[in-house]
Each structure stands twice: as C-alpha cells, then as structure tokens.
Amino acid sequence: MARIGVVTFPGTLDDRDAARAVRLAGAEAVSLWHADADLHGVDAVVLPGGFSYGDYLRAGAISRFAPVMGEIVDAANRGLPVLGICNGFQVLTEAHLLPGSMIKNDHLHFVCREQVLSVENVDTAWTRDYAQGERITVPLKNQDGQYVADERTLDELEGEGRVVFRYQDVNPNGSRRGIAGITNAAGNVVGLMPHPEHAVEQGFGPDGAHGPRTGTDGLRFFTSVLHALVG
Amino acid sequence: MGRVVVDVMPKPEILDPQGKAVAGALPRLGFGQFAGVRQGKRFELEVDGPVTDEILAAARAAGEQVLSNPVIEDVVAVYEDTDAQVGA
C-alpha cells in the first residue's frame, strides 16, 4: 500500500483531514513532524493548511526552515510528489519549489466559501484523475490567498501549462489571472489555495450534484497520486 | 550593545491591501492630507557588541534571505540604530 506523508507544523490545522483524505483514497497516511530529519520512506507528501508558526513574518516563511522541509525540498527535486494546500502552498513558494507568493486578499477579509475551479492541467501527479477543463467545487478559506508573481513569471506559467487550477465564476481574493493553483515544471509539485481534503466524503463536503454536502470533488487529488505512483 | 534596523517594504508594483485600507481610513479620521499609504515592516536586530561592517553585511543578508520575500518585498534600508547604545 502506498504511504503518503502528512506534515504537521506547529499551527497546522488540516493535517487530520488531509490524513483522512489519504485513507479514503486507499493509501496509508504517515504523520510527519516538522522536526523530523527524514521522511520515513513515504511515497508522496502533503503539506496541509493552517497557520504554521502563527503566520509570523509571512505565511509559510518560518516553516520553510523546519528540518523536515530540507528533506522535502531534496526529495521533491528528485521527483517525489508533493501537494501543498493553502498554508502548504505558501510554504512551497517560500521554499522556492513553486514561483510567486501569496499576499493578503485584495478585499482584506477572511474568505470561506465553496469555490468552483477549473482543472487546466491533468498531467500532474495530483490531477491525472480529472478531465481537462473539468469544473470542480472545493472549499476555500484563507486570509492571505492573493496569488502574485511578476508578469514574466505569469507568462511562463501560462505558456508552459503550469497553471493547474483557476478560479471560476468569481475571483475570491484578487489572484493574478485568477490563478488558484500551479505546478513545477516536472509536474510532481502542486500547490493551491483551495482545500480538496475537505471535499472527499459525502455528508461532510460542499454541496454537490446529489444534494447538500454531497460534494467529493477533492478525492481525486489523492487517487491521482496513487495512480501516478503505480503508473 | 548595538542594534541594526532592517526596513522591508512591499515592492512598488505589488498592490498593498493593508496600506490601501489605512489610506481609506485616514480621511475618515480627519487626515485628508495623504494621497496614499504603503505599509512595511521594521526589524530591530540586537547584537552584544558594536555594530561592525560585518554585522551590517550579515543583517543585509538576513534581510534578503529571511526577513523579506524578494518576490513581493524589498529591503529598503539597513542601518545602525545609534540611539540603541543609550539603553545598553
């Protein structure tokens, strides 16, 4: 059985939901602690959301220097699938595994909503079970969610197909070009602000096609990586 | 004891939502003189000894590598806070 690590930093909030999503997808969830100096042989890593180190300095800035991050950066550069969700995405940008950064939402309010996204790259380790252009609904909840990068970086991301998710219907935080999530050139590292791990089980997710709270559009992030590992 | 100040500001081309909100609040409080506000960060780094050129260089390096994120912020000033020695 595939073993997927879920990292807990001080201030991480969504590690248990992420571990649950991993198990629902059919893999073993392995808890990784911020002070761990090795990855316990996991096949992939999820950096979950929350407010690691209280978002002191900048969101994700202190986490980048946690011992476990050194291991994750090395492994990611060797091809280990890594998914950063919300604060985990912020950590990935601070660690320079993904370009750009997140600043405060343009309207300055915390946002919490069921967000429609388009899936624009289905060749990554975390999206291969989606259809190109598919619209999915997953929760979005953050304060510092406005994705920014310089125009050259944005053009590169677009030109190389590295915009993986884009906000649809509304841009909830002022992100440049409606970008909700991106990948590295190799497609093994993906980061996004919305929370797929909160949309993996009927009864607990956003509203879906079969009624209130039936949405499970996030589950295929986690099945995707299992298929990427065996494929 | 010495102290080095590192000032970090959002890059000019980056919209500063906090500064914009402050700029909106000022006229409501009677301060109509200010056309714009940008909000940054001031770090005070303390050292046990005097502030040498090496200390200033280290403070600048820390500013660029840790205290700021070069994607969204600039280190705009690194200097010794000479008043700090009074309280040492």
Question: Which sequence spans correspond to the domains of chain A?
Answer: 3-230
CA distance B29 to chain A (A): 20
Residue B30 is assigned to a structural domain of this protein: no
Query: HSE of A40 in the Cβ direction (CA atoms, 13 Å)?
Result: 17
pLDDT recorded at residue A139: 97
Decide which of 2.40.50.220, 3.40.190.10, 3.40.50.880, 3.30.1130.10 is the CATH code for A3-230. 3.40.50.880
Which residues on chain B place their C-beta less than 8 Å from a C-beta of chain A?
A: 10, 13-15, 17-18, 21, 66-67, 69, 71-72
Which chain A positions have a beta carbon within 8 Å of B17's beta carbon? 103-108, 146, 174
In the beta sheet, which residues pair with residue A38? none
In the beta sheet, which residues pair with residue A5? A30, A45
Residue B70 is assigned to a structural domain of this protein: yes
A86 is catalytic: yes
Residue B28 is assigned to a structural domain of this protein: no
What is the model's pTM?
0.92
Residue B79 lies in domain: 2-13+40-87
For residue A5, give both structure tokens: 């690590």
Q: In chain A, whose CA is at the least distance from the CA of B17? A: A106
Residue B86, pLDDT > 70, answer no
pLDDT recorded at residue B15: 84
Q: What is the largest CA-CA distance in chain B?
A: 46
Q: What is the number of structural domains in chain B?
A: 1
CB contact under 8 A, A104 and B18: yes
Instruction: Give the residue from A58, A89, A102 with the most B CB atoms within 10 Å of its CB, the best one to mutate.
Output: A58
Only one residue has tokens 């059919």, namely A26
Tell me what percent of chain B is helix, strand and coil, each rounded to the nearest 5: 40, 25, 35
**CA atoms of A72 and A207, how far apart (whole Å):** 34
Which chain B positions have a beta carbon within 8 Å of A105's beta carbon? 17
pLDDT recorded at residue B85: 57
pLDDT recorded at residue B88: 44
Residues in CB range of A122: below 8 A, 6 or more apart = A128, A130, A131, A132
Residue B74 is assigned to a structural domain of this protein: yes
CA nearest neighbour of A179 among A198, A163, A195:
A163
Q: Which of A86, A94, A120, A198 is labelled catalytic?
A: A86
Residues in CB range of A210: below 8 A, 6 or more apart = A202
A195 is catalytic: yes
Q: Is residue B26 a contact partner of residue B36, using CB atoms and an 8 Å limit?
A: no
Residues in CB range of B66: below 8 A, 6 or more apart = A57, A61, A65
Helix pair A219-230, A15-24: axis angle to 10 deg: 60
pLDDT recorded at residue A188: 98
Residue B73 is assigned to a structural domain of this protein: yes
pLDDT-derived band at B84, boundaries 50, 70, 90: low
A146 touches chain B (CB under 8 A): yes
Residue B33 is assigned to a structural domain of this protein: no
Residues A137-162: b if buried by 16+ CB within 10 A, e if exposed: bbbbbbbbbbbbbbeebbeebeeeeb
A197 is catalytic: yes
Which residue numbers in chain A have pLDDT < 50?
Answer: none
Residue B20 is assigned to a structural domain of this protein: no
